[in-house]
């Protein structure tokens, strides 16, 4: 601590260094103040709700920006011990999905599955559901997804089950419901930028007239 204080005392004796630091501190303070000011202005603005129609419109107008670089699936995935009870019957039922009571699948998985993904209406990256499984690295994934809707593979301890319900392949347009969060962020950021542009213009114009700024 003492060495640090002595070093600081020496540094403070340099007027040029102090001037550089003061300028950096002022610039940081100004940037922080503007950031917090803009955040406050936007938080008090009522135009924050984004409708489903706006999302659909943005998607349709910019669909070329949503070409998939990876494979997406709607699928079920289960990793279950080879020693789990009534395993063959479960595999048979799993294969029949969705032409079977889904509660049977869920109940079995909750009791015996080591790992599972059962959100059949949710798009997920195919690479994510095969991560950590012995899915063959040499397998052509596009061919696999085009030719199979059920697959099982085993190692010494577990059986891994996949039920593919829908798919979007690399090069396809990404489904809109997979991109909702991204589109929300884009639209919200655009609104922020538009608001701040209008705010800056309003402050500049009104300041020349000796008036207060107007928030849109």
Tens of pLDDT, residue by residue over 188-202, are: 888 877 777 776 666
pLDDT given for residue 216 in this prediction: 45
Q: Comparing C-alpha atoms, which of 174, 167, 155 is closest to residue 129? A: 167
pLDDT given for residue 21 in this prediction: 82
Q: Which residue shows structure tokens 């922080």?
A: 32
pLDDT given for residue 2 in this prediction: 75
pLDDT in tens, 154-203: 999 999 999 999 999 999 999 999 999 999 989 988 887 777 777 666 66
Q: Do 149 and 164 contact (CB within 8 A), yes or no?
A: yes
Average pLDDT rounded to a whole number, residues 17-46:
74
Give phi and psi for 153, each to the nearest 5. Answer: -145, 150
pTM of the model: 0.70
Q: How far apart are CA 166 and CA 164, in angstroms?
A: 6
Tell which wins on pLDDT, 34 or 138.
138
Would strands 158-168 and 72-81 be described as parallel, antiparallel, or unpaired? antiparallel
């Amino acid at each position: 601590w003492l060495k640090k204080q002595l070093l600081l005392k020496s540094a403070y004796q340099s007027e040029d260094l102090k001037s550089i630091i003061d300028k950096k501190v002022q610039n940081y303070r100004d940037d922080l103040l503007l950031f917090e000011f803009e955040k406050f202005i936007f938080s008090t603005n009522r135009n924050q709700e984004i409708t489903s129609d706006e999302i659909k419109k943005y998607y349709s107008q910019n669909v070329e920006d949503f070409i998939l670089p990876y494979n997406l699936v709607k699928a079920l995935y289960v990793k279950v011990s080879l020693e789990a009870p009534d395993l063959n019957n479960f595999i048979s039922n799993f294969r029949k999905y969705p032409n079977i009571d889904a509660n049977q699948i869920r109940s079995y998985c909750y009791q015996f599955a080591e790992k599972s993904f059962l959100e059949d209406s949710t798009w997920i990256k195919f690479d994510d559901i095969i991560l950590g499984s012995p899915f063959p690295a040499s397998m052509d994934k596009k061919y696999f997804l085009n030719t199979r809707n059920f697959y099982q593979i085993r190692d010494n301890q577990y059986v891994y089950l996949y039920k593919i319900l829908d798919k979007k392949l690399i090069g396809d347009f990404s489904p809109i419901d997979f991109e909702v969060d991204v589109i929300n962020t884009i639209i919200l950021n655009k609104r922020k930028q538009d608001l701040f542009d209008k705010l800056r213009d309003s402050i500049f114009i009104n300041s020349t007239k000796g008036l207060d700024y107007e928030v849109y």
